[in-house]
Amino acid sequence: MSLPEQLLDLAVATAREAGRMLVDKRPAGGPDVVQTKTSPTDVVTQMDRAAEKLIIERILAARPGDAFLGEEGGSREGGSGVRWVIDPIDGTVNYLYDLPDWAVSIAAEVDGVAVAGAVDMPRRGETYTAVRGGGALLHTGSAARELRVNAGVPLERALVATGFGYGSARRARQAEVLTRVLPAVRDIRRGGSCCVDLCSLAAGRVDAYYERGVQAWDVAAGALIVQEAGGRVEGLRGAPVSPEFAVAGGPGTFEALHDLLAPLDPARD
Ligand code: IPD
Ligand code: CA
Ligand code: CA
Ligand code: CA
């Protein structure tokens, strides 16, 4: 088994264990908000922290020399050349409200390049996986199917997912950009989890995605899954994805959405 395949196996097993824990141990009255970050919407619960702790413990037990980038503070250096990029709950607000679309996202990088990614959605019963150069799969129970983005969807027929990356100062600008995008597309979906949006794109359940304010842990696994399903995930004008901006879509649709967004200067405050 190649190193990326070994890393994927560990990512899948760990994401599923964390996902099960998050379902089984979710407090009956909902989790507590133990911290807010950039705005009152940007919440952290005790379950985000518990899931990140579990994920890092499991991976370290198997691979003690690896590095980590974790949303909830679990980052650490390592000497093996492998770094794990972890979002223990992507869609914390959905998890808080008991809406089903949240996920555990784990990506493995070798020498700075993402080579394996797993996104587990326990409330949907779905796990999405990709290995660089090996395609992307959706696993449902014991079945698996290969993922392919929709290609060449004209904007007026494109269902476009978006997110409103957190930070109160950005909200008015996000709304302005949306007023220009909404009339140009079939419709908009704001699902509440960046990696769920990216997996939906890979599965052909939406045609494109854009967002300002995403972080490495939001996109690391999902972007690999989209790329391996034949799509593009980039910043504006060929830049890599950054907290500035992310735009994603299948061939043809990516370019059309990019060209609509770029002149709007969506990363400006
Ligand atoms: C958030 C979700 C949301 C997106 C935000 C992210 P979190 O992640 O992915 O959809 O709009 O930009 O921060 O905080 O739930 O892990
Ligand atoms: Ca968060
Ligand atoms: Ca996230
Ligand atoms: Ca998170």
pLDDT tens column, 205-222: 999 999 999 999 999 999
Ligand 1 pocket residue status of 163, Cβ below 6 Å: yes
CA distance 102 to 100: 6
Q: Residue 27: CB partners within 8 Å, gap ≥ 6?
A: none
pLDDT at 216: 97
The C-alpha torsion from 122 through 167 and 71 to 113, rounded to 10°, is 90
- Determine contact, residues 219/244, Cβ cutoff 8 Å: no
Ligand 1 pocket residue status of 122, Cβ below 6 Å: no
Ligand 1 pocket residue status of 8, Cβ below 6 Å: no
For the chain, percent of residues with pLDDT exceeding 70: 100
More confident: 6 or 40 = 6
Mean pLDDT of 109-121: 98
Q: Residue 259: CB partners within 8 Å, gap ≥ 6?
A: none
pLDDT exceeds cutoff 80 at 168: no
pLDDT tens column, 54-109: 999 999 999 999 999 999 999 999 999 999 999 999 999 999 999 999 999 999 99
pLDDT exceeds cutoff 90 at 164: yes
User: What is the predicted ipTM?
Assistant: 0.98
Which residue, judged by its Cα, is nearest atom 2 of ligand 1? 193
pLDDT at 170: 85
pLDDT at 169: 78
Ligand 1 pocket residue status of 194, Cβ below 6 Å: yes
Neighbours of ion ligand 3 (CB under 5 A): 87, 90, 218
Mean pLDDT of 198-209: 98
CA atoms within 13 A of residue 170's CA, in its CB half-sphere: 22
pLDDT at 167: 79
Token pair belonging to 1: 């088994």
Ligand 1 pocket residue status of 250, Cβ below 6 Å: no
Which residue, judged by its Cα, is nearest atom 13 of ligand 1? 165
pLDDT at 208: 98
Q: What is the phi/psi pair of residue 101, to 5°? A: -90, 85
pLDDT at 142: 95
Structural domains for the chain? 3-146 (3.30.540.10), 155-264 (3.40.190.80)
